[in-house]
Structure 1
Amino acid sequence: MAKKNNAPAKPKLPPEEALYQAVSLCRKAGALTMGFDAVEEACVKSKAWLVMTASDISPKTLQRLNYAVGDLVDVFTMPLTQDKLADISHKPVAVYAVTDRNLAKLCFDRLSDCGAIKNEEDMSE
């Protein structure tokens, strides 16, 4: 007779918390590049799969980032502030790049769940 799994179901995390955990996983796996110059270098060397920014990034920095790497890698704004992300980076950082393909897909999915990524269908309205 087969055993039944009596383990309680895990509570579903809020989308922002799931994104935070995905970014933390990237950091622990050594696949997270932090800081404007380091992210720019990773993009130019084709090591970055995804670039994310904190929600409170300055408009000028975001403009510089899009100019520098916008043609190379997709740049998305996370619904997380630099203060929240400081627990991961150990200091306030506004620009992050994921250098692992599978972890970039995980972060992309979490960004989609948060509503940070607009689909083409949403933009046509």
Structure 2
Amino acid sequence: MNDRLLSLLGIARRAGKLTMGFDPVAEDAAKHKAKLVLTASDLSERTLKGVREVCAQHNVPCVPLGRTMDEIHKAIGKRTGVLATADHGFAQSIKELCRFNNEEESQL
């Protein structure tokens, strides 16, 4: 795997700092545990709307990963389209990588 973002997600998963799935992520957001919520690029519009509502309600940043659920599955071992991290350090690093990747794509 040559993708730094997906590698970082794999590290966060192994460190136990990654929550996966809509319901667990929504629960973490409600308990103010989630520092950052991430969404897959092929997430359904209905689920994406629900994730954005939960994030807005609990003031949690929501960032599109720009990766499909299959790509996420290869990195973390579980097929999911909604992820969250409760670790401030992982959240900052993931946000920076997402911003960097979005800037690279806009230059192509």
Same fold (TM > 0.5): yes
Amino acid at match of 2:65: M
CA RMSD of aligned residues (A): 1.7
CA distance in 2, matches of 1:95, 1:29: 18
* Deviation of the 1:24 alpha carbon: 1.0
In 1, Cα distance between equivalents of 2:10 and 2:56: 24
Q: 1:54–1:79: 8 Å Cα contact kept in structure 2? A: yes
TM normalised by structure 2 equals: 0.87
Q: Unmatched 5+ residue regions in structure 1?
A: 1-12, 117-125
Dislocated runs of 4+, deviation >6 Å: none
Deviation at 1:68, TM superposition (A): 1.8
Higher-helix-fraction structure? 2
In the alignment, structure 1 residue 43 sits paired with structure 2 residue 42:
no
Partner of 2:71: 84
TM-score (norm 1): 0.75
Give the count of matched residue pairs.
102
Query: What aligned pairs does 1:1-125 form with structure 2 within 5 A after superposition?
Result: 17-71=3-57, 72-115=59-102
Where do 5+ consecutive residues of structure 2 fail to align? 104-108
